[in-house]
Chains A and B, each alone.
Chain A
């Protein structure tokens, strides 16, 4: 029985996985992928699925691989940069294959909206020799998720299901099947040389792997996820959200073009592409991120010596960067049509207001929430190092926002867990300057531990400040090994960060109350003086999750209008009205402003409930 539900793409994928009978689901939070695992975890107990938030993407993928080796259906979810972390198992796995089924769901982020790179997972799939499915809508994401499990099992290969932000986080009416308990009639692991990678095995399997790519290309050419429509001598080839933009533009035009929608970008459906290229003089490639489909088309045109001219990114018709929308695609199509000499006037909407006509608007950057414990810790270090040359290496999480004015306390940020190693590298070059690394609790578990061990083993004189707010905040407050609860809400051993640091050989390890500014400043100073690696664990609430139940207000009688609270902290709850500072109702009650006011004019609000 199918029904229509209003679902986010990620939810639709989760439904598809459950309908396909997924047994094991793993992942690490990463925008825009996190809701897939969250949704599966939500239904896990009800339908007999094992779901976990893994400590990082490498472990998530390896765990799913183990399950797939035993014959189970497994899914591992992550964002595109998470695939980088999982790349070691990924690349070896293609030679070995799977017995059950393994779907790797990876979310790309054109823009980017919340990622360090605009990398294209289709290129990764090509590099890894793993088939990849690329949905354009939440419905397609759902349908492809189901097919991905079938395909993976049938061809004994992992399959990547790759989305972009607007598919993963777009919501729409989706037709889904019934959810029911997943079958667990699984064969189990059978001992066989095929599971142990050796250079000799790899050499034997490589020809099989290359042949598999040909087989998959052929299967894909017959798949309904690749569709040709229309006719003429001008063809548009498109995928993902870019395809939906093309579809929308063409609906309002009365022109004759051939359109090839590609849902399976690698291995490229060559036979279907040749059908598309038949009779074409011009092809226009429309896709976000890398010119992957464009290059595939060009190599086919080259190998078969076809007289088709291609417009795309390589010739500057479309940009190689950024998220696409109807306006960008329209502009590219107009360029291509006019270069061809084709009267395909795409029409232009005149908006009510042009961007240049707008009045001056306030800058509204994302910022640390009002009451966030990170603000206190960053401010404490700023005070502690006021006259001490220091470099502050940050990391990935809410605390990356400590970079903004007026705090300005993040000097470097690269990728998960890098802050500590970068601080060590800086320190080896500039030992006369202090080096501090900030890292969150979830990031610490993800990839901070090896960096700390390395700092001890190789003697890096750095201070590591762990910002422990007991959650993986930025991605939606998922649990992690330090909290004591699993993805499905069951109790777990809460692993102690300070204890780990001690067992790694760090000699100065301190736990500090993140809401006590004086204690934070004292700890920062002590660590700065200490010779050798030091780890300070600042513990406080994530204000989104744990309300303090308090609020502060400014006593107008005492306030001297020095504006210190406003200028020093950048807290969104403190505003200036006609030069007078005021604390808004969004105050989270951390008390930082009260602790810095030089005349003690900021006080707890009387309980008004």
Chain B
């Protein structure tokens, strides 16, 4: 069994927390796991990527190109930037809320979120798209977008553990004061996906 997950987002979105939670859930499920994260320099509003490699045995922490089974995109442009890692038939779950970098505002680069979303739909027709940031905001704090995305992916059957197993691992790890809002965001996203499926 092997399962490679790439999480892409912007510094400050909780990409590292998401990869840690997936790592902990893997250990609870008696699987080996290795991760690689971007820490420090890139986090200052920069592009952040985590590689999470789960399985019966794991090798180096970086997923080879074309081998990721799942891309979790906390931000659409970052999801697309990392699509060369996706294997044919791989899945994607993407937060549609775009974060426009300062380089765009000062005219040094461009960002057309609609174009990016359209690209995802074309290249990965089964991609799960949701505004996780809005959903988290509705749940009480936009920062719980990572919990929402994890809930959606788990409910869609995209992860090697169930939504219940994943939440159990999350509950053990999240700080007490943040559990309620994260749980709400996680469950709201999961229910949304169950409703779409039915």
Binding site for B on A (CB under 8 A): 4, 6, 31-32, 113-114, 137, 166, 169-173, 241, 244-245, 247-248, 251, 325-327, 330, 349-355, 357-370, 398, 401, 405-406, 474-476, 566-567, 570-572, 574-576, 581, 585-586
Shortest A10–chain B CB gap in Å is 10
A327 to B63, CA, bound (A): 9
A361 to B79, CA, bound (A): 10
A contact residues around B46 at 8 Å (CB): 364-367
Could you say which of A241, A247, A353, A581 contacts B123, with CB atoms under 8 Å apart?
A353
Residues A4 and B27 in contact in the complex (CB < 8 Å), given A325-B64, A349-B65: yes
- Inter-subunit contact A476/B40 (CB<8 Å): yes
Residues A586 and B104 in contact in the complex (CB < 8 Å), given A247-B59, A351-B86, A366-B43: no
B contact residues around A358 at 8 Å (CB): 80-81, 83-84, 119
- Inter-subunit contact B101/A166 (CB<8 Å): no
Q: Which of B46, B77, B106 has the most CB of A within 10 A?
A: B106
A342 to B102, CA, bound (A): 51
Shortest A46–chain B CB gap in Å is 20
A368 to B46, CA, bound (A): 10
A244 to B57, CA, bound (A): 12
The chain A residue with its CB closest to the CB of B75 is: A364
Could you say which of B38, B65, B116 contacts A327, with CB atoms under 8 Å apart?
B65
- Chain B 51-72, CB-CB to A under 8 Å as 1, else 0, gives 0000000111110111100000
Shortest B48–chain A CB gap in Å is 9
- Inter-subunit contact B40/A114 (CB<8 Å): yes
- Inter-subunit contact B60/A325 (CB<8 Å): yes
A contact residues around B86 at 8 Å (CB): 351-353
Residues A113 and B36 in contact in the complex (CB < 8 Å), given A166-B60, A352-B87, A367-B102: no
A contact residues around B85 at 8 Å (CB): 351
Task: With A32-B39, A173-B33, A350-B88 given, name 20 new contacts (CB 8 A).
Answer: A6-B33, A32-B40, A113-B42, A170-B35, A171-B35, A172-B35, A173-B27, A244-B60, A247-B60, A248-B60, A351-B65, A361-B80, A361-B81, A361-B116, A362-B111, A367-B46, A368-B44, A401-B44, A574-B105, A586-B12
Shortest B66–chain A CB gap in Å is 3
A contact residues around B34 at 8 Å (CB): 137, 170-172
A358 to B59, CA, bound (A): 29
The chain B residue with its CB closest to the CB of A173 is: B27
A contact residues around B67 at 8 Å (CB): 326, 349
- Inter-subunit contact A570/B106 (CB<8 Å): yes
Residue B90 at the chain A interface, CB threshold 8 Å: yes
Residue B109 at the chain A interface, CB threshold 8 Å: yes
- Inter-subunit contact B123/A166 (CB<8 Å): no
A contact residues around B43 at 8 Å (CB): 366
Number of interface residues of B (CB under 8 A): 64
- Inter-subunit contact A360/B41 (CB<8 Å): no
B contact residues around A401 at 8 Å (CB): 44
A sample of 6 cross-chain residue pairs with beta-carbon separation below 8 angstroms, ordered by A number, consists of: A6-B33, A113-B41, A326-B60, A352-B86, A353-B84, A361-B111
Residue B180 at the chain A interface, CB threshold 8 Å: no
A383 to B80, CA, bound (A): 39
B contact residues around A370 at 8 Å (CB): 45
B contact residues around A574 at 8 Å (CB): 102, 105
Shortest A552–chain B CB gap in Å is 16
The chain A residue with its CB closest to the CB of B110 is: A360
Within 8 A of A (CB), among B5-21: 10-12, 19-20
Q: Main SS of the interface on chain A?
A: loop
Residue B196 at the chain A interface, CB threshold 8 Å: no
Shortest B59–chain A CB gap in Å is 4
The chain B residue with its CB closest to the CB of A570 is: B102
B contact residues around A349 at 8 Å (CB): 64-67, 87
B contact residues around A366 at 8 Å (CB): 11, 41-46
The chain A residue with its CB closest to the CB of B92 is: A352
The chain B residue with its CB closest to the CB of A567 is: B106
The chain B residue with its CB closest to the CB of A569 is: B102
The chain B residue with its CB closest to the CB of A356 is: B84
A contact residues around B42 at 8 Å (CB): 113-114, 366
- Inter-subunit contact A362/B60 (CB<8 Å): no
Shortest B35–chain A CB gap in Å is 4
A575 to B108, CA, bound (A): 13
A contact residues around B61 at 8 Å (CB): 166, 170, 172, 241, 244
Shortest A80–chain B CB gap in Å is 15
B contact residues around A169 at 8 Å (CB): 36-37, 39
Within 8 A of A (CB), among B134-154: 142
- Inter-subunit contact B109/A575 (CB<8 Å): no
- Inter-subunit contact A351/B24 (CB<8 Å): no
Shortest B196–chain A CB gap in Å is 23
B contact residues around A360 at 8 Å (CB): 109-110, 112
A contact residues around B191 at 8 Å (CB): none
